[in-house]
Amino acid sequence: MDWLTAPEEDVLIHSAATFATGAAPAVSGQRWFRDTGRNDIQEELLRAGWPPAPTHTPRTAGNKASRRVGSALTSALSLVTSLVLNENNVGSGDGKPEDPENEVDDFPVMWAAPGTLARTLPWQLDPARRPKGYATDLVVTSHRLLFVGSELGLLEHADVLCELPLGDVAEVRHMRFSTLEADVRLTFADRTWVRLFTGARNSAERLEQMHGGTVRMLPANALTAGQQQEAARFRAGMPKRPYPPTYALLPSGTVLMEIRSPSRFTAGCFDVAVNLMDETGIRVGPQPGDPSVP
């Protein structure tokens, strides 16, 4: 990877990363950038050099009713498509918002005063501002949190857009009331935060679990010889040009291998293939006490 220059640094986890998009009726398809007084900071971002982007207004009850009537004609098809892809448009277990103030009535994806850590994130994370075909990823190494971008959508040829020490990240929360249950909220040491779409529920879950200590991410060179052999076999059966695998050590001692590939059906989303291995590299099933694996 062109941007990985320190020989003692290991990549632990990576995922797609864009500013998230609202899912509740009033904020569906929209996002806002706010200061800590809930004021819109679009003009401030433009003055800081961000490209322009559409301005949004939360829908009124009348807007929402009209939207529901119009969408009724396609609801059956949408349901069938969802079942075929095994994906839910919105989910939080029971389908209820976890943070209604910021998920139903408003949908900020940046909550930050001027000069704070969240404001250092790159504008390329905004799908409405970046060039068509440009891809951004979040990468966590043994030392840093990076945001990288590429016009080719290839992680190994990406450019660094922003990097922060790991100590600057105070919390990673999986936000389940979201498209594909794939959002995370990163809260920084100064209590500013951003909400990101990761492209797959697995990615959002693993980022939260890693930061919370439920799982420990492993570099590829930490695998046993048997695990490396099984990982090579599993990877050989993947579609062309998948992203590099990630490895999580679960509480039982099982290693969870995950390979992310761009979805054939939905742009910006990812299919994730999973493989569970014991210490010798033998494939195993889920073990008691481990996080559930889709």
- Using CB atoms within 10 A of its CB, is residue 43 exposed (0-12), middle (13-18) or buried (19+)? exposed
39 compared with 293, residue with greater pLDDT:
39
Confidence (pLDDT) at 80? 33
**Residue 251 counted as domain residue:** yes
The reply to whether 127 and 269 lie within a common domain is no
**What pLDDT, on a 0 to 100 scale, did the predictor assign at position 79?**
32
pLDDT, residue 32, reads: 97
Residues 6+ apart with CB under 8 A from 213: none
Amino acid at 207: L
How far is Cα 260 from Cα 176, in angstroms, rounded to an integer?
19
| pLDDT surpassing 60 at residue 63 | no
Using the structure block, give the residue that is written with the tokens 């009124």. Answer: 60
**Tokens, residue 237:** 């059966």
Domain boundary among 212, 242, 262: 212
Q: Say if residue 179 is in the same domain as residue 228.
A: no
Return the structure tokens found at 85. 């892809």
Residues 152 and 237 in one domain: no
Question: Does 289 map to a domain?
Answer: no
Determine whether 132 is exposed, middle or buried from the number of CB atoms within 10 Å of its CB (0-12, 13-18, 19+).
exposed
Model confidence at 21: pLDDT above 80: yes
Distance CA 154, CA 190 (A): 32
Question: Token digits for 107?
Answer: 């949908």
Last residue of a domain, one of 181, 212, 243: 212
Residue 196 lies in a domain: yes
- In tens, the pLDDT along 220-268 reads 999 999 999 999 999 998 877 778 899 999 999 999 999 999 888 888 8
Letter for the amino acid at 182? A
Final residue of a structural domain among 159, 181, 212: 212
Together in a domain, 273 and 203: no
Same domain as 223, residue 160: no
Task: Say if residue 132 is in the same domain as residue 237.
Answer: no
**Residues spanned by the domain of 50:** 11-212
What the block records as the tokens of 136 is 């951004």
Predicted pLDDT at 165: 96
pLDDT of residue 92: 53
pLDDT score of 64 more than 80? no
- Does 37 fall in a domain? yes
Identify whether 3 is part of a domain.
no
- Domain co-membership, 102 together with 243: no
Tell me which range, 77-81, 115-119, 131-135, is most confidently predicted by mean pLDDT.
115-119
For residue 202, being part of any structural domain is answered with yes
pLDDT of residue 96: 86
**Mean per-residue pLDDT, 177-184:** 96
- Are residues 230 and 170 part of one domain? no
State pLDDT tens for residues 87-105: 345 555 557 899 999 999 9
Residues 127 and 240 in one domain: no
Residue pair 287/254 in contact by the 8 Å Cβ criterion = yes
**Per-residue pLDDT reduced to its tens digit, 191-214:** 999 999 999 999 999 999 999 999
Q: Is residue 168 predicted with pLDDT exceeding 90?
A: yes
Q: Which helix (H) or strand (E) holds 109?
A: strand 108-111
In a domain, 285, yes or no: no
Instruction: Please tell me whether the overall predicted TM-score, pTM, comes out greater than 0.85 for this model.
Output: yes
* Residues 261-280: tens digit of each pLDDT: 988 888 889 999 999 999 99
pLDDT digits (tens, 9 = 90+) for 23-45: 999 999 999 999 999 999 999 99
243 plus 266 within the same structural domain: yes
The tally of domains found in the chain comes to 2
280 contacts: CB under 8 Å, gap ≥ 6: 224, 226, 227
Give domain status of residue 294, yes or no.
no
**Interhelix angle 61-72/75-85, nearest 10 degrees:** 70
| Residues 64 and 174 placed together within one structural domain of the fold | yes
183-188 and 108-111 as β-strands: parallel, antiparallel, unpaired? Answer: unpaired
CB atoms closer than 10 angstroms to residue 21: 20
CA distance 118 to 64: 31
Half-sphere exposure of 125 (CA within 13 A, CB side): 30
Could you tell me how far CA 266 lies from the centroid of its own chain? 15
Q: Are residues 124 and 267 in the same domain?
A: no
